[in-house]
Structure 1
Amino acid sequence: MKNPATRTLALVIVITLALCFYFVLLGQRGIELIQDGRVASVGLGIGVMILPFLGLWMVIATLRAGLQHQHLARRIHDEGLELDVTDLPRRPSGRIDRDAADALFAQIKGEWEADPDNWRNSYRLARAYDYAGDRGRARETMRRAVALEQREQAK
């Protein structure tokens, strides 16, 4: 597996399968606690039974978001609108230098402000937030880009 995408996919599959196995074990433990019949055990069993459902919901939501983001990344690549960060100075860790990331962010934010309802601009702004180290705003803006792109597709 020399292709990084193949390695990533394999890792996602392995982790998802491991989590599913863990969820089954949690469910079995919850059933055992409920079958014990004592009030405390039943209460704990119900609580434990909720965990696999929450975990499954989180796995599905995460995989769905990842697939949506990958879809947008492919479209941006195909349209030649990816952010070019190859010439930006980097720290020894490989991350983009903070001042360079902030300058890139300022440029991309200006483009976004000119047309905030274009999913391409929101996608690029999300990537600029990520490069600038603001992961929370990057996720929020990427969700906006996904919603805008889906609205565009529905037309």
Structure 2
Amino acid sequence: MNPFSGNPIEDSQNIRLRPMNPDDLDRVLNIEERSYADPWLREHFEYELTVSSISKMMVLEIHQKVMAYVGIWLLPPEIHITNIAVDPECRYQGLGSRLMEYVMDLAYELRIKQVTLEVRHNNLAALALYRKFGFEVKGMRKNYYASEKAHALIMSRTVR
């Protein structure tokens, strides 16, 4: 499987997972800014989409409207989740789980050994999602998120 081929995943509920493209950025930035105290800038997303050879960015659409997204770095034998967010109006409906399922399925197909991520220590909803997928805390970066004085928890999961 080519992880960058961008084959969309669709289902009968008008939910579609597909590669992010530059036309998605206004909507992605809207979600990003409502999700994080230190949101990524447009330039960060543009770099991931157009320059980075290790990045893969995906959006999840409902009725053709972007409602969530995930970004990863493919660093065999590891995948690192760089960014994941769900529109605040659509949270707690399983969209984050769909994105995580995509990442874990990709890791399995590519025979990746480990998936890693960083999360704010006080982001309880994200922590619950990651724990649901078998992630464990492996370390901490104190005061990593300076604007909030929040710590970054380093989490990982072995892929079997």
TM-score if structure 2 supplies the norm length?
A: 0.25
Between Structure 1 and Structure 2, the one with more strand by share is 2
More RCO (CA 8 Å, sep 6+): 2
Larger Rg: 1
